[in-house]
Amino acid sequence: MITLKSAREIDEMEKSGQLLASVHEALRDFIKPGITSWDIEVFVRNMIEDHGGVAAQIGYEGYEYATCCSINDEICHGFPRKTPLKDGDLIKVDMCIDLKGAMSDSCWAYVVGKSTPEIDHLMEVTEKALYKGIEQATVGNRIGDIGHAIQTYVEGENLSVVRDFIGHGIGPTIHEAPSVPHYGQAGKGLRLKEGMVITIEPMVNTGTWQMKMDNNGWTARTQDGGLSCQYEHTIAITADGPRILTLQDE
Ligand code: MF3
Ligand code: CO
């Protein structure tokens, strides 16, 4: 079922999203060589709770952590762990916050220490792809317009778009209808309506888009071992255009 949100509900989701954005802003300085993704998990969990939020991924479908910390070839749902991060690691930190019943979801990518031209290009294209998708999230457009804009841009940059994980409606729970693929055909699919709140969260790979699943049943990684990047925002479809609820400061 697709739930349309009132202006007041969207305002509440934006407060949740603004707490989430502030966590990502804080991670910019926190993430450096030598720390572990477990340190990130603890930092994030404490910051969310200190601000009256609930780390909504904990307990979701049996997931045990506040964050997904997916490193290098890990596409998504990486478990936080106690291995030190090193120069040139690409880490994607994904989290959901429930603030007084209002849900938000955002993933951001960070390079640890010194980057490389390959990582810079992958990160730049993935972030731009997110915004190309967001541009299409307008009343009257169709779901396929979002995926089409993302896919054509990414593939034109000789990178690939993951098919196995997609964006989604959000609120009251993390995953709601509709599904929001990051690939597809313009003009196809459900028509977007005022009051829908969705995530757009392209996962972009340097090699093949195909994935393989780890034995833990959660962590997906690239089949060919290539790098994977992801950025995600929570977006409300409004009469004035897409409103990014998880927008960060520059
Ligand atoms: N934040 C993830 C998403 O973007 C949700 C991960 S599901 C969990 O959809 F179980 F890992 F929390
Ligand atoms: Co999401």
* Amino acid, res. 30: F
* Ligand 1, atom 7: closest residue by C-alpha: 57
- Which of 58, 65, 74, 96, when mutated, tests ligand 1's pocket best, judged by the most ligand atoms within 8 Å of its CB? 96
Q: Which pLDDT score, from 0 to 100, does residue 1 have? A: 86
Q: Is residue 14 part of an annotated ligand binding site?
A: no
How much is the pTM? 0.98
Cα distance between residue 250 and residue 244, in whole Å? 14
Please indicate whether residue 94, judged by its CB atom, sits closer than 6 Å to ligand 1: yes
Ligand 1 pocket residue status of 98, Cβ below 6 Å? no
In a domain, 80, yes or no: yes
Ligand 1 atom with minimal separation from the 201 CA = 4
User: Is position 58 within any domain?
Assistant: yes
Task: Kindly state whether residue 1 falls inside one of the protein's structural domains.
Answer: no
Q: Where are the alpha helices (DSSP H) in the chain?
A: 7-30, 37-50, 117-135, 143-156
> Has residue 250 been placed in a domain?
no
57 CB less than 6 Å from ligand 1? yes
Task: List the CATH number of the domain containing 156.
Answer: 3.90.230.10
* Pocket of ligand 1 contains residue 232 by CB under 6 Å: yes
2 is a domain residue = no
Residues pairing with 247 in the sheet = none
Q: How far does the centroid of ligand 2 lie from the alpha carbon of residue 65, in Å?
A: 15
According to DSSP H, which parts of 62-193 are helical? 117-135, 143-156
Write out the residue range of the structural domain in which residue 54 sits. Answer: 7-244
Domain count, the chain: 1
Q: How far is the CA of 20 from the centre of ligand 1 (A)?
A: 14
249 within a domain of the structure (yes/no): no
Q: For each of the chain's 250 residues, which pLDDT tens digit applies?
A: 899 999 999 999 999 999 999 999 999 999 999 999 999 999 999 999 999 999 999 999 999 999 999 999 999 999 999 999 999 999 999 999 999 999 999 999 999 999 999 999 999 999 999 999 999 999 999 999 999 999 999 999 999 999 999 999 999 999 999 999 999 999 999 999 999 999 999 999 999 999 999 999 999 999 999 999 999 999 999 999 999 999 999 9
| Local structure of residue 222 (DSSP, 8 states) | E
CA dihedral 198, 214, 207, 35 (to 10 degrees): 80
